[in-house]
Homo-oligomer: A and B are copies of this chain.
Amino acid sequence: MANITKKVSWSSRADELGAAGEGTPLLNGSEQSRAFREVRLLQWLTVSMPAVSSLCCRTESFLDYDNIENQLFLEEERRMSHMSFRCLEISRWVICGLIGILTGLIACCIDIIVEKLAGFKYQVVKENIEKFTEVGGLSVSLLLWAVLNSAIVMLGALMVSFIEPVAAGSGIPQIKCYLNGVKVPRVVRLKTLMVKVFGVICSVVGGLAVGKEGPMIHSGSVVAAGVSQGRSTSLKKDFKIFEYFRRDTEKRDFVSAGAAAGVSAAFGAPVGKNTTTHKFFASMISTFTLNFFLSIYHNNPGDLSNPGLINFGRFENDSVAYYLYEIPLFIAMGAIGGLLGALFNYLNYWLTIFRIRYVHRPYLQVMEAMLVAAVTATVSFTMIYFSTDCQPLDPEHSEEYPLQLFCADGEYNSMATAFFNTPERSVRSLFHNQPGTYNPLTLGLFTLTYFFLACWTYGLAVSAGVFIPSLLIGAAWGRLCGILLATTTDNGSIWADPGKYALIGAAAQLGGIVRMTLSLTVIMVEATGNVTYGLPIMLVLMTAKIVGDYFVEGLYDVHIKLQSVPFLHWEAPATSHWLTAREVMSSPVTCLSRIEKVGTIVDILSNTSTNHNGFPVVVQVTGNEEPAKLCGLILRSQLIVLLKHKVFVELARSRLTQRKLLLKDFRDAYPRFPPIQSIHVSQDERECMMDLTEFMNATPYTVPQDTSLPRVFKLFRALGLRHLVVVDDENRVIGLVTRKDLARYHMGKHGLEELHLAQT
């Protein structure tokens, strides 16, 4: 997440970070907001800071989810028969199927490799510990463990830092931005996928406090972006298929299906606000593929009864699941989750700022990752070493690697089940182990240490998710709550199941950190195979969100905001009706004439200070910025293709045989349009004219200047717009609303606030 590359940002980093926190309370300016105080500190922190982050880029920063309906497009659509549309529809299903299969396979590979390698590592360390427990000198074991972890993590961190920094973290914020319409550079490339898969294996095997689930969502998205385009630019291989889908609108839909397939592979649950049949299909296929190959791997071919990657085991309640009077307790736990989550996010926020400031060179990032790996091993070892919580070794115990250590024969160290294990297994133990398996002190210490370890880990230059660590922290203190309740009340029997409280605690903690409600409910219900806990889990998640939101945003949003990405939420801020298009729009607008001089176009595109991406086309540009009648809208990318193919009026006249530009030419250039600097235009050519009529979108959406902000916002979000032309009552262009103009406004504690987003 916090990778620093050496690109130039939208703005100098100082502005960016300063701006992220700076809220100018528009409605209630009486008190100095807390955010404002932070800003001072941030500005101090960020003086002369190296620019940029993994979420930003300079050119073509946004995606256009509104179809470019120009003449070429309409002609193609009109030529297409009923049959062609059927074929397209079939292609969509095929692509979704492929996405599902590949995503499932990737999940399967990750799962098997992690299991093998982690098993091998734990076996080696366990044997070593057992050897030295008898003869003394356990520090050798600690060293072995720490070095092993550091070495493995180093591999992953090297890949991420030096090869593809955008593969760091879970990738969820990046995909969230992508689907929102912000183009994160290189986020859906093949190389990113490779690094991600390798990186996540290293992080999990390296014993970091991370999960492998979040990255699956990113992986699924990359797969989708690749498959749906029918080519790989990295491999320079074009299969000449699915060419119709080479535009932002279609690609977005597939990426969204890929993300769903990733979620499904990870959690066995198809979730999402806007589930379509295509997405659902991709999800189903992905779970199916994963299960199918895992069943073969487990020598039980054809048995398809396992859900996704994580499976916390089914909560079976033949009798009573929970009582009505437990609900207030659950809600209280939700509040604790919200508080702890807010603390987590707050600490991580500061840590990220620190990282941006001081740990921005790749080699430093690798060293930090190795340090964290070593510290994690050391802390774990110390905790296990000093723990006196011995439990009898159940013949049918679920521990894979029980550590006897200083326990009596036939007993094992309970702290080790939490630390000396992959986090998934630890969660499962906390949910399902018999009451009495853990003593309260073990759980308390574990919660404390793991909380800080996980917080430190998130944001390292390694591929890793935060879901499982959050669940683990929550499960630990949740189980602790359950045990304390059972001991402090007279009627201990009804609190008999601390596993139930572990589940609620896990939900509360995860909700407190990532602040989702709907999707998490589905995921938790799915991962536990029991719909009975649906309502309590939802209540807990909602409480955690409300409590947490009071202090600080969700972890993903914190990171998105730190990058000052112009992220658009679903709805306009509530109190923004008094703003109109006239006030939010950018003005004056650079307009082009329908038939424009090549030189003018080149100059406009080369102007790095404005760097606009969409240009209203007007009947005739008048001098001195008088508004002129709108007749279309054209994008930078289209102009670039036109310039590249030298579609000039004069040339068309002289060379009569010149091939007419086809939609295919635009599709071939998509999505990596060359920069304007790479296109050579001679001095003679600068005097030529370009006729934009055929290429511009002749019917762009427009709004009158008095339109209220929520109305503009609704249009933007509902249609996935990138530019919205503001016209006066004679249809003359007087402004252009872009995504940034809208993303500036957001609800703060004291009403509407205006952020100073970095300029394009």
Does A667 count as interface, using CB distance less than 8 angstroms? no
Choice from B303, B704, B708 contacting A319 with Cβ under 8 Å: B303
Is residue A191 contacting chain B, with contact meaning CB distance below 8 A? no
Say whether A715 faces chain B, with CB atoms less than 8 Å apart.
yes
Q: Mark A684-728, 1 if CB is under 8 A from B, else 0.
A: 000000000000001101111011100100110011000000010
Chain B neighbourhood of A276, CB < 8 A: 273, 518
Taking the complex as formed, is A124 at the interface, i.e. its CB lies under 8 A from any CB of chain B? no
* Cβ contact within 8 Å between B321 and A303: yes
A534 to chain B, nearest CB (A): 6
A701 touching B729 by the CB < 8 A rule? no
Contact across chains for B699 and A703 when beta carbons are under 8 A apart = yes
A284 contacts which of B78, B274, B534, B701 (Cβ < 8 Å)?
A: B534
Q: Tell me if A656 is interfacial: C-beta within 8 Å of chain B.
A: no
- A82 at interface (Cβ–Cβ under 8 A)? yes
Provide the A506-518 mask, 1 if CB < 8 A to any CB of B, else 0: 0000000000011
Contacts of A287 in B (CB 8 A): 534-535
Q: Which of B284, B321, B752 contacts A538 (CB 8 A)?
A: B284
Closest to A76 in B: B577
Q: Which residues of B contact A434 (CB under 8 A)?
A: none
Interface residues of A in 49-91 (CB under 8 A from B): 67, 69, 74, 77-78, 80-82, 85, 88-89
Q: What's the Cα separation between A30 and B709 when bound, in Å?
A: 51
A649 to chain B, nearest CB (A): 23
- CB–CB A517/B81 < 8 A: no
CB of B302 within 8 A of CB of A320, answer yes
Q: Which residues of chain B are near A320, meaning CB under 8 Å?
A: 300, 302-305
Name, among A319, A521, A574, the residue most crowded by chain B CB atoms within 10 Å (CB to CB): A574
Give this chain's copy count: 2
Q: In the bound complex, what is the Cα–Cα distance between A288 and B538 (angstroms)?
A: 12
B-facing mask of A622-638, CB < 8 A → 1, else 0? 00000001110000000
Check: A317 CB closer than 8 A to any chain B CB.
yes
Docked Cα-Cα span, A320 to B89, in Å, equals: 34
Of all chain B residues, the one with the shortest Cβ separation from A306 is B532
Chain B residues, CB < 8 A from A542: 277, 281
A591 to chain B, nearest CB (A): 15
Kindly state whether residue A750 has any CB partner on chain B within 8 Å.
Answer: yes
Chain B neighbourhood of A67, CB < 8 A: 711
Cβ of A490 < 8 Å from any Cβ of B? no
**Interface check A275, CB cutoff 8 A:** yes
Query: Does A334 lie at the interface of the complex (its beta carbon under 8 Å from any beta carbon of B)?
Result: no
Confirm or deny: A185 has a beta carbon within 8 angstroms of a beta carbon on chain B: no
Query: Quick one: which of B275, B535, B702, B752 contacts A288, CB cutoff 8 A?
Result: B535
Is A16's beta carbon under 8 Å from chain B?
A: no
| Interface pair B711/A699, CB less than 8 Å apart | yes
Tell me if A578 counts as interface (CB < 8 A to partner B): yes
Cβ proximity bits A194-209 to B, threshold 8 Å, 1 near / 0 not: 0000000000000000
- Cβ of A731 within 8 Å of any chain B Cβ, yes or no, is yes
Contacts of A88 in B (CB 8 A): 574
Asked if A274 contacts B277 (CB within 8 A), the reply is no
Q: A69-B708, A577-B78, A699-B703 are in contact. Are A268 and B531 (CB under 8 A)?
A: yes
Given the complex of chains A and B, what is the CA–CA distance between A535 and B283 in angstroms?
Answer: 9
Q: Is A41 an interface residue (CB 8 A)?
A: no
Of all chain B residues, the one with the shortest Cβ separation from A278 is: B518
Q: Using Cβ atoms and an 8 Å threshold, which residues of chain B touch A730?
A: 629, 730-731
For A704, the closest partner residue in chain B by CB is B699
Q: How far is the CA of A698 from the CA of B324 in the complex (A)?
A: 52
Contact of A531 among B307, B698, B719, B727 (CB under 8 A): B307
Judge whether B292 and A317 touch: CB under 8 Å.
Answer: no
Q: Choose among A273, A276, A708 the residue with the greatest number of B CB atoms under 10 Å from its CB.
A: A708
Judge whether A285 is part of the interface by a CB distance below 8 angstroms. Answer: yes
Does A239 sit at the interface, judged by CB under 8 A? no
A553 within 8 Å of B (CB atoms): no
Please give the distance in Å from A560's CB to the nearest CB on chain B: 20
Tell me the residues in window 602-661 of chain A with beta carbons closer than 8 Å to chain B beta carbons.
Answer: 629-631
Residues of B within 8 A of A759 (CB): none
Residues of B within 8 A of A232 (CB): none
A550 within 8 A of B: no
Max chain B Cβ within 10 angstroms of own Cβ: one of A88, A273, A292, A305: A305
Is A526 among interface residues, defined by CB-CB distance under 8 A?
yes
Given the complex of chains A and B, what is the CA–CA distance between A538 and B324 in angstroms?
A: 35
- B285 lies within 8 A of A535 (CB): yes
**Is A529 located at the chain interface by the 8 A CB criterion?**
yes
The answer to whether A578 touches B78 (Cβ under 8 A) is yes
Bound together, the chains give a CA A280 to CA B69 distance in angstroms of 37
Chain B residues near A731 (CB-CB < 8 A): 727, 729-731
Considering only CB atoms, which chain B residue lies closest to A73 in the complex? B577
Interface residues of A in 261-319 (CB under 8 A from B): 268-269, 273-277, 280-281, 284-285, 287-288, 292, 300, 302-305, 307, 317, 319
30 contacts between A and B (CB under 8 A): A74-B708, A77-B578, A78-B578, A80-B575, A81-B575, A82-B747, A82-B752, A85-B574, A85-B575, A273-B276, A274-B274, A277-B542, A284-B521, A284-B535, A288-B535, A300-B320, A302-B320, A304-B323, A304-B324, A304-B535, A307-B531, A529-B531, A698-B704, A699-B706, A699-B708, A701-B715, A702-B702, A715-B719, A727-B731, A730-B731
> 8 additional contacts, CB 8 Å, given A82-B750, A88-B574?
A77-B575, A78-B577, A82-B574, A82-B751, A284-B534, A302-B325, A526-B531, A698-B704
